[in-house]
Amino acid sequence: MWASKTGGCVFCGRIDRHYRARSPKKVWEEIVWLHNRYGTDYVWDVSGSFTGNLEWVKDFQKAKPQDLNVALEVYSRASEITPEIGPLLKAIGVYKVFIGTDSGDTNCLIKARKGTTPKLNLDAVRLCAQQNIVLTLGFVIGLPGETDASLENTLNHAKQLVSEGEVETISCAVLLPVPGS
């Protein structure tokens, strides 16, 4: 639906550097067409962060056809899951959010330039739980500064997030630095 480059994480593979958005009305028209033509009842938006522009999300919610029942799965940054955005996501039909929590260690998150903290991750998980939105949490092993202690922090953080949210999936990737990248 749009592309955003808001993080600048050290491991980011996204090449889009600027925010681009499509008309909320046009996006809904296409979803309605897919629903009517093919019976589509699920849409997965794989842009960098669906919640990257609060005003766009508000406009998207206002433009949603009232009689349309299509489930959405989206990506979001933990820092963008706020008390205001949670109910909007639910009203839009978002049933699942992928949050790149990446680590439970503050030092690793800083070195990776994630723009989040373990507390922000936890707050986001709790806010999604309040809206009965299920989650996929992404973790990255091998971030700059990773140690046995930071891995232990990440494991404990993941356990806490699972205990406080509706976590359906945990995705774990190993960071593989490529020379010259």
- H/E element, 59: helix 54-63
For residue 17 the two structure tokens come to 């550097």
- H/E element, 16: none
What is the per-residue pLDDT for 124? 98
What is the per-residue pLDDT for 125? 98
CA distance 141 to 164: 22
What is the per-residue pLDDT for 178? 74
What is the per-residue pLDDT for 102? 93
Report yes or no on whether pTM surpasses 0.75. Answer: yes
What is the per-residue pLDDT for 111? 87
Burial class, 174, CB count within 10 angstroms (exposed 0-12 / middle 13-18 / buried 19+): exposed
CA distance 175 to 163: 26
CA distance 109 to 114: 5
Question: Could you read off the pLDDT tens digit of each residue along the chain, which spans 181 residues?
Answer: 434 444 565 555 555 556 677 899 999 999 999 999 999 999 999 887 899 899 999 999 999 999 999 999 999 999 999 999 999 999 999 999 999 999 999 999 998 878 889 999 999 999 999 999 999 999 999 998 999 999 999 999 999 999 999 999 999 999 887 777 6
Instruction: Write down all domains in the chain, each with its CATH number in brackets.
Output: 2-7+16-174 (3.80.30.20)
CA distance 73 to 99: 11
